[in-house]
Amino acid sequence: AYISELEAILADEEKLLNLVREELTEIKEKYGDERRTEIQLGGIDHLEDEDLIPEEQIVITLSHNNYIKRLPVSTYRAQNRGGRGIQGMNTLEDDFVSQLVTTSTHHHVLFFTNKGRVYKLKGYEVPELSRQSKGIPVVNVIELDQDETISTMIAVKDLDSEEDFLVFATKKGLIKRSAIRNFNRINKNGKI
């Protein structure tokens, strides 16, 4: 009897829709309550890529042959005495890690070149690669000239600071102090 009743419901589309409607009404009465979330128009004024990227501590490495990559700090771990260590980067035979900077994904990294130019990237703009990867050529990240190489990297939290300075010294003994805020507006082509 029960099976023939179910077959009759499946055979008649109107009976099926009425049954679904009745069951949904029962569920609504039993569990239904007023909407708790509010829908607002224009709630987000200004949304940037950085707002969607979680802030985490990172390590940026630059090799002697100008390969760059980013790794989370959690990749590295402290070891006890006698530990063999872990390999932080696969390099070619004549390549090695020349610079390493610890910073945050939301902080700025300034790249100074051998030609006196400076380039600026956010930490998250450097590609995150695996621990074994050698990195990608730095020219794929920063628009360097043909014979231009990165001399040093500096991580900076706040480029608007009035109190922070960078001090430069040349081979010829010249010294210059520059306010960190001078490095706030740097386009993709760098700043001399």
Given a contact cutoff of 8 angstroms between Cβ atoms, the answer to whether 138 and 66 are in contact is yes
Q: Cα–Cα distance between 106 and 101 in angstroms, integer?
A: 14
Vertex 120 angle, CA 114 and 125, to 5°: 120
Strand partners, 166: 178
Given a contact cutoff of 8 angstroms between Cβ atoms, the answer to whether 129 and 69 are in contact is yes
Question: What pLDDT score was predicted for residue 92?
Answer: 61
Q: Cα–Cα distance between 125 and 52 in angstroms, integer?
A: 13
| CA-based R_g, the chain, Å | 29
For residue 99, the 8-state DSSP code is: E
Q: Is 165 helix (H, G, I), strand (E, B) or coil?
A: strand
Instruction: Please tell me the pTM assigned to this model.
Output: 0.66
Q: CA dist 46 to 20, 79, 186, Å?
A: 44, 44, 22
For residue 173, the 8-state DSSP code is: S
Question: What pLDDT score was predicted for residue 17?
Answer: 93
- What is the per-residue pLDDT across 142-158, written as a single tens digit (0 to 9) for each? 888 888 888 889 888 88
Q: Are strands 108-113 and 118-122 parallel, antiparallel or unpaired?
A: antiparallel
Taking 50 as the pLDDT cut, the residues of the chain under it are none
Question: What pLDDT score was predicted for residue 87?
Answer: 59
Q: Cα–Cα distance between 118 and 99 in angstroms, integer?
A: 16
